[in-house]
Structure formats: C-alpha cells, structure tokens
Chains A and B, each alone.
Chain A
Amino acid sequence: MNTALPTEPFLQLNLGPSHPATHGTLRILVNLEGEIIRDMKLEIGYLHRCFEKMAETHTWNQVIPFTDRLNYVSAMMNNVGYVMAVEKLLGVQVTKRCQRIRVIMAELSRIIDHLVCIGANAVDLGALTCFWYFFRERENIYDLFEAACGARLTTSYTRVGGLLADLPEGWTDWCRKIIDNLPRTLDDVEGLLTTNRIWIDRTQGVGVLSENVLWITDSRGPVCEPRGMPTMCESTSLL
C-alpha cells in the first residue's frame, strides 16, 4: 500500500513479523481502538523464497523436495499437487493403487492441517490443552508418514508417474486404528472449546465477512460454508 494508515485517533501497532517457527511470518500493521482492529495493512513477503526461480535450475524430479517446504504441515499434499501437474504435461496416467495412496496421504495431511490450525488458534486465545490433545494425533499420523517414506515433515513421497515406494506391510491396519481413535480426541477438544465462554467471546461475531465481500474477493471454502455459498469441495474435484 502506498499510503500510511491514518493514526488519529487510533493506536498504531505492529504485529510481527514474528519468527519463522511460528504459524507463519507475517507483519500486520493495525489501527486499534481499544481491543478492536479498525484497519490493517499486511506485509506478506517474509515467507517468499521464490522456489519457482530455484526450480529453473533443477530437473523435474529435483523440484519435489522444494514442494515439501511450501507448507510444512501438508507436505504430502504439495508433493501430490506438483507431480500431478508434471504428469498432466507429460500426459501420464498413474495406476489406480497409486491414485488411492495419494488420496489417503492428502487426506491425512488435510486432517493434521486442520488439527494444527484449530489447536494453534486455541493456543493464541490462551487454551493450551487442546493443542496437546491434537498434537498427539498429529504425531500418530507423522508415524504413518515415517513408515511410508522415512520422513515425518519433509516427505518427498511422490514421484512423477508414481510414488517413492509402496506402503509397508500392515500400514493400512495401523492407519485404520489411528483414524478410529480420532473421533475421541475430537470429542475431547469439542468438550473443551465449543461451549467455552472465553472461546465463544473471542470468536463469535469477530471478523465476519459479508456475503458480498466473499463474492467479490472470490473466497471459497470453509469461510463460505455457514453462509450456504458454494465451496470449492462441492464445485471442483482435486484428483
């Protein structure tokens, strides 16, 4: 933005940029009136490492490890997205089994992504317990990743036209067991958060996006769900 925020009669405060090990390095310049944010400007470039430029000097397969680092929680999903794009350029069709394993990995990533998102959100509002409950599940899923590809965070599991390796023996039963346990943890956190006075006070009616804003900014996904607008999941298919 070219112009500074008007400072009067607001308190101007810099939130961040904070350390990269936090939820993401972002600088927010806010105008505060008491506890209420009246206006803000964003500086989003801190996490930009220009992987696209690095990809120019590497081969197609050498780019896969870069995609691990695009989002450290859903490395698997970024692996899948990248190799699917390359396969589309090549006109290659992968086997049904490979497609299914990729879907399972992407879904597990999506689950841990949501666990971290909700857990960290609660931590920021002062509720640490939920985070540990969710982290236990997240660790279990990382065990599954480790068994499949040898790495927990930076997986590099996919290859153009396939995967690094097939699933090890007993993996599917192990995975089922972990997934079966998940609802219990969700119930635990639901009990802690959903009717929690502090959680409700700090989230309900905060940062509400009007339907008009959602349409003109082309927003899709969970933010639109409560408003009955089409979500990406309904309107397109990933694989």
Chain B
Amino acid sequence: MPEIDTNCVETKIPGFLQHHGTALVEVQEHMGDLTLVVQPEAIRQLIQALKTNFGFEMLLDLFAMDYEIRTQYSGALCGSLPTLFTSKKRRVRLKVFIGETNPEIDSIHDIYAAANWFEREAWDLFGITFKGHPHLTRILCHQEFVGHPLRKDYPSDGYQQLRKAIRSAGM
C-alpha cells in the first residue's frame, strides 16, 4: 500500500480515516480538489457512510475515464468517479480503478437516485457494468450502436450507419 498523505482528508472530512482509512488506496489533492482513490469492493459502503455520517447529501456527477497510460495500477483502465457535495461547501471525489476487460462495479443508484442516468451514460460510453442497476440501457447512443465510443480503443472516426427507427418499447 502506498504512503497516504492524510492531512488533507482530516481537514476536509474529520473523523473519516478513523473508520474508513483501510479502504483508501491513495489520496490526491490538486488545486484544492480532494480525490480519494478507493478499493472497488468498498465503494458502496464508503458512499453510504459519506452520505449518512459526513453530510455529503448530493451527488454532483458520476463519470468514467479511460486512462491510456497506466503506471502504478497495472492492468487498471476504467474508473467511476462519483463527486459528492455537501451544503457546507465541501466536495470530495472518489476514484475507483477497475479492469479493462469486463469492467464492472456496484451501482449506487439506491443511495443517490441521481446516479441512475449517470450510470447508464457511463455504461453507454465506456461499457462499465453497474451491478444492481434496474435497467442498464443506452441513454445517449442509438440502440443499434455497437461498442462504447469514449473508450480509447474506439476509433475517433468510427462512424456507424444506423437505420432502424427507435422502437417505442425500447425507450
């Protein structure tokens, strides 16, 4: 486990490390933004704790990234990054590294309802499966679309001819 600079976590989320420090892989701070890199299996438990015990009442965003250059996390590619926000002007971003082949992670739609569409977007564009999501279907791309366009292995000129009209049942 890498060395973790815990000062910034304690300043922004007092008492957090005492209970949840073991789930942390790394702590990143850049221009005042706190990012906690956490273990994938701990994500639900951590987000639930941040919501109920630390006042992070709002999910601002949830998205994925495809890191082409991988250094310290060998084989890791896609991460889901929920950004949580409190009314006390505190923000925290959680980062999870998951594998390139069949990336999957637990859904948090039942903790933050706003995660529902964000997770569909991350599935549509990156192909990340959110376990426990009620209907993980495409939200932006056409239903005929093949592949996940924001993955780095999807070509930037990968246009697809789509013909069928969208079925109302498929909405």
Q: Which residues of B are found within 8 Å of A27, using beta-carbon distances?
A: 166, 171
Partner of A218, one of B113, B156, B170, B171: B113
Report whether A88 and B150 are in contact in the complex, using a CB–CB cutoff of 8 Å: no
The reply on B89 being an interface residue by CB < 8 A is yes
Report whether A45 and B89 are in contact in the complex, using a CB–CB cutoff of 8 Å: no
Closest to A219 in B: B114
Scan residues 110-124 of chain B and give those whose CB is less than 8 A from a CB of chain A: 112-114
* Contact flag A48-B141 (CB < 8 Å), given A53-B150, A53-B156, A218-B113: yes
Report whether A4 and B156 are in contact in the complex, using a CB–CB cutoff of 8 Å: no
Contact flags B34-61 to A (C-beta < 8 A → 1, else 0)? 0000000000000000000000011110
Partner of B139, one of A3, A45, A216: A45
A220 to B59, CA, bound (A): 11
The reply on B7 being an interface residue by CB < 8 A is no
The reply on B168 being an interface residue by CB < 8 A is yes
Shortest C-beta distance, A159 to chain B (Å), equals 19
Report whether A218 and B168 are in contact in the complex, using a CB–CB cutoff of 8 Å: no
The reply on A217 being an interface residue by CB < 8 A is yes
Scan residues 140-160 of chain B and give those whose CB is less than 8 A from a CB of chain A: 140-142, 149-150, 152, 154, 156
Q: Which residues of A are found within 8 Å of B87, using beta-carbon distances?
A: 230, 235
Closest to B84 in A: A218
Report whether B85 and A236 are in contact in the complex, using a CB–CB cutoff of 8 Å: yes
Contact flags A199-228 to B (C-beta < 8 A → 1, else 0)? 000000000000000011110100000000
Report whether B156 and A217 are in contact in the complex, using a CB–CB cutoff of 8 Å: no
Report whether A41 and B171 are in contact in the complex, using a CB–CB cutoff of 8 Å: yes
Report whether A1 and B114 are in contact in the complex, using a CB–CB cutoff of 8 Å: no
* Contact flag A4-B139 (CB < 8 Å), given A50-B149, A53-B156, A220-B58: no
* Contact flag A45-B141 (CB < 8 Å), given A29-B171, A54-B156: yes
Give the interface residue-count category, chain A.
20 to 34
A52 to B149, CA, bound (A): 10
Q: Which residues of B are found within 8 Å of A42, using beta-carbon distances?
A: 171
Report whether A4 and B59 are in contact in the complex, using a CB–CB cutoff of 8 Å: no
Q: Which residues of B are found within 8 Å of A3, using beta-carbon distances?
A: 169
Q: A45-B141, A53-B156, A218-B112 are in contact. List 6 more A-B contacts (CB 8 A).
A: A41-B171, A52-B125, A217-B113, A218-B60, A220-B58, A235-B89
19 A-B pairs with CB atoms under 8 Å apart are A1-B171, A2-B135, A3-B169, A4-B168, A27-B171, A41-B171, A44-B139, A45-B139, A45-B141, A48-B141, A50-B125, A50-B150, A53-B149, A56-B156, A57-B156, A91-B31, A216-B113, A218-B112, A235-B85
The 10 closest A-B pairs by CB, nearest first: A218-B114, A48-B140, A4-B169, A216-B113, A45-B140, A41-B171, A218-B58, A57-B156, A230-B87, A2-B135
A→B interface (CB under 8 Å): 1-4, 12, 14, 27, 29, 41-45, 48, 50, 52-54, 56-57, 88, 91, 215-218, 220, 230, 235-236
